[in-house]
Amino acid sequence: MGEQKLTIKQIAQMAGVSETAVSFVINNRKGVSAQTRAKIHDIITSTKFVPNKSSQRLSFQKSFNICLAINPTSSPFSDFFYSEVTKGIMEQSVLYDYNIIIAQLQYDTEGHCSIPISVKTRDVDGIIFLQDTPSILLNEIQTMGIPFMLVDALPTDIQAVTINTDAEQAAYTATLYLIEKGHTDIGFIGSNYLPRYYVQTSSGFMRAMNERELSIRPRWFVPDTKDVHTAYKSMERILAGNDHPTAMFCAGDIYAIGAINCVNAYGLKTPDDISFIGLDNIQLSEYYTPPLTTIGYDNQNMGKLAMDSIINLIHQKPVMSIVVKSDTIIERKSVRQMTIPAS
């Protein structure tokens, strides 16, 4: 027969305290004196006690599960930005002894989004949504009384805790960097498939260009890019004319990589013929040829902050929305200094 596992009840009897006191110590909660806490810790250590998760669930009436709800456009399996955010969430979840359940949001033909099964069955204590989520779904979750927060999203008609980058500032900083390197003929590749993000990045780009009184050429401004493949096509459209920009701002590293692939295919060189700067600082950008200059979002930290926020919401602690710093330039080799700097 296998070795009999101790229970919280037995640990409590050995320590001469209540089961609640043992649970508080195991879960690092307040309400137990330092002397009692030390006594319980000693017994747990000496007996190599491992708490039974089912017992903890019954004791605290919690599932110790967090639902990570993703949209098709925010999948950590296909988008480098969200994979880094998810990594931060997973790493931080270990500190709280929580499981992460990933659920992709499903939309019907009329665009209605259904509640994930794990949420319907109340097998989660909280939900982290990646990217913009339909307000009707958020209202349903709110009615159910399940804490939730959003990453890379900004709901317009519901109060919610959010973790966001300042994409407008990032785009402004990136474009200004190109200008200060002496570039005046600058193009834009962005994505209006993500409306809020597109508004922010295009606004930041235009702000920098307008401040320096530089013209924005319509043919060099491509707003409808989705991924690395469409970024290639976007750059083809820009190169189709008789002239081309000396530098490109791309509202995502993956767009820059697709565009550089196109430049290479046309027999041009980066940065000698066209310089590139991206956003995100995904891992691939460091190892691409040439290594990509970009704006670094602290994506993993966003995930960690999201996990901290949802845990605080679960424990009914005050939580504030956060905008992470988004203007750190990672200088690599994809941008060249023009011979005559911009005045």
Which class is domain 8-60? mainly alpha
pLDDT at 268: 97
* Predicted pLDDT of residue 207: 98
Q: What is the pLDDT of residue 12?
A: 86
pTM value?
0.76
Quote the CATH superfamily of domain 65-164+299-327.
Response regulator (3.40.50.2300)
What's 22-91 look like in SS3?
HHHHHCCCCCCCHHHHHHHHHHHHHHCCCCCHHHHHHHHCCCCEEEEEECHHHCCCCCHHHHHHHHHHHH
Mean pLDDT of the chain: 89
Give the pLDDT confidence score for residue 241 in this predicted structure. 85
Architecture of domain 167-297: 3-Layer(aba) Sandwich (3.40)
Residue 342 has pLDDT above 70, yes or no: no
Strands (E), the chain: 65-70, 99-104, 126-130, 148-151, 161-165, 186-189, 221-222, 247-250, 275-280, 293-296, 322-324, 328-330
Averaging pLDDT over each range in 11-15, 167-171, 298-302, which range is the top one? Answer: 167-171
What average pLDDT score do residues 153-175 get?
91
**What's the whole-number mean pLDDT along residues 110-128?**
86
For residue 79, name the pLDDT band (cuts at 50, 70, 90): confident
Domain ranges of the chain: 8-60, 65-164+299-327, 167-297
pLDDT in tens, 41-66: 888 888 887 766 555 555 556 778 99
How buried is 205 (Cβ within 10 angstroms: 0-12 exposed, 13-18 middle, 19+ buried)? Answer: buried
